[in-house]
Chains A and B, each alone.
Chain A
Amino acid sequence: MPEVVITGVSKAFPRQGKDGMLSVLNDVNLALAEQTFTCLVGPSGCGKSTLLRIIDGLMAPDTGEVRIGGERITAPSLDRGFVFQHFNLLPWRTVMGNIEFGLENLGMKKDERRPRAAEILKLVDLEGFESYYPGQLSGGMQQRVGLARALAVDPSLLLMDEPFGSVDDQTRMLLQEELLNIWERDQKTVVFVTHDIEEALYLGDRVVVMRARPSQISRIVEVPFGRPRSDAVRGSPDMARLKQEIWNELKVGATVEG
């Protein structure tokens, strides 16, 4: 079971068409308790997606390290599930085939995979769509498949990169609610990247506020709403107050360029 510890992580990328490096993360330190839901919020370009990829092992940090349950992360593993902003489904595979993708890499046989995938399919409310191709589904449904694919391998850590950033508002709210319902069941450790402050407060136990380049954690907000959490918190005075506070925090470092 993971306790994620991020120590002194820095990352820089070559500047496009210019000399020198663009520092994206600068000495980030953060510890995430197990079975908590942590949201990383910040302006685009602040390095929150980069940090998420470093946690997964998709990217190596220039300095520093990430340890999960004491073990240093060097490569992606099926003990972590990743949900992408643009779904990234395999277009030539059906819904079922996509959900089975990670299970295949676990070395599961077909007769084990099918029931497992069917179970997850039910969890994300996609029964009846097994044999559809991603191109036949709406964005919201595609992301349900993306979530199902990540959940299918039963990871102990779920990493989500602005997963609801490319669906419409109403779908986003529905998906947020469903994500919370799913999370209540087994309370995986979740790291959820978003630029939507309300989304972060509605979903998370903690909201980590990041400021733009070279980005650092500027504040950590403990979310006061209880669990199981109802939709009503969206309209609560605490929500309004915290949203304003976080926005004031973000505004300082925000630039037009961001």
Chain B
Amino acid sequence: MRGSKGVGAEVTRRERVPGTTEGSTVDAGAGVVYAPPHDHWIKTLLDKTWFLRLVVYGALILAFQIVAVRQGPFFLPTVPDVLKGIVELFTAGHILVLGPTLQQLTVGFLLAIAIAVPMGALMGRFGFAEDLLAPWVNTIYVTSKESLLPIIILIFGLGFGYRVMVVILFAIFFPVINTAAGVRYVERELRETARAFATPRWRMFTRVYLPAAAPFIVAGIRMGLAMAIKGMVIAEIWVYIGTGELLTAFTLSPRRLHLYYALAVMIIAVAIILNELLKVAEQRLRPYARVQSREAL
């Protein structure tokens, strides 16, 4: 880092720290304000996230519309029809079906995390826990989880318990595997430091392993959320209840096909909102992550 002469780009972090008394490594040229020539307007637009999103989503919607018009309403509703369908979901009260569905999703997802993180942490830390649990995790992880649904129905029936169990079954694996990996690869130096400061054995988890593995764990939880939503829909479609029942029913009649797409859009919207909420929660819990992503200050 030190001594390189890149213009502007090599302003090291320490120089941004006010009041540093030492090690200031001001590069020649770092203080010079580099005025870029005016970019072409196309390049300026391409640097804007909103513009790129507009292009991507716009193209998708356009493609959908073109295919819908060519295929006819029997197979695909047009974009305006889907929008009308969304309004109809609200006016006809269909949207309320998402309430219980979201409830089971939330309960299942939270339970999955509550089981997955401690389990993964134990697997990452202790060889015996890894040896005991890894075969189960790996076997079910690669198995089609749908194939296990009949067993869950046998045990839990068709009620709330069944649906929550399916969500857990789908959601639990990524957080387990990621937490285990994150804890396993906590730097030797950090572990040694914690030991040197006489950290009690179990406190190592809360003070060192879990915070150190947090980026892995959060990634696992976000992937787990996607799986939880998948599990939620599958659980309901499988036994024909709740949102799953409606989705299935809408596909059976060409005149209600636009409602099927509208409901699918709403489920995607819920997923996106939950994902964003997770991001907010992450930033709250880990202010350090925010610092990292912004590099300095």
Contact = CB atoms under 8 A, between A and B. Distances in A.
A105 B17 contact: no
A88 B212 contact: no
B197 A101 contact: yes
B211 to A, nearest CB: 5
A88 B17 contact: no
Contacts of B84: none
Given A86-B189, A133-B291, A167 B23 contact: yes
Contact of B196 (A56, A91, A104, A125): A56
B23 A78 contact: no
Contact of B23 (A90, A132, A171): A171
Nearest 6 interchain pairs by C-beta:
A138-B14, A82-B196, A88-B193, A92-B288, A102-B197, A138-B23
A101 B197 CA distance: 8
A58 B212 contact: no
Interface of A: prevailing SS: loop
B190 interface: yes
A18 B14 CA distance: 43
B17 A168 contact: no
Nearest to A127: B19
B13 interface: yes
Interface string A91-107: 11100000001101100
Interface string B277-297: 000000000101001100011
A78 B13 CA distance: 33
A139 to B, nearest CB: 7
A77 interface: yes
17 contacts: A77-B198, A88-B192, A90-B193, A90-B211, A93-B288, A105-B200, A105-B203, A129-B17, A136-B296, A136-B297, A137-B13, A138-B22, A141-B14, A141-B17, A168-B2, A171-B22, A174-B21
A170 B196 contact: no
Interface in A119-142: 125, 128-129, 132-133, 135-141
A239 B261 CA distance: 83
A84 interface: yes
Interface residues of B, number: 31
A32 B212 CA distance: 37
B195 interface: yes
A251 to B, nearest CB: 30
B197 A138 contact: no
Contacts of A174: 21-22
Interface in B257-272: none
B16 to A, nearest CB: 8
Contacts of B198: 75-78, 102, 105
Given A140-B22, A170-B23, A92 B214 contact: yes
A128 B22 contact: no
B273 to A, nearest CB: 27
B20 interface: yes
Contacts of A91: 288
A136 B13 contact: yes
B199 interface: yes
Given A58-B195, A105-B203, A174-B22, A88 B13 contact: no
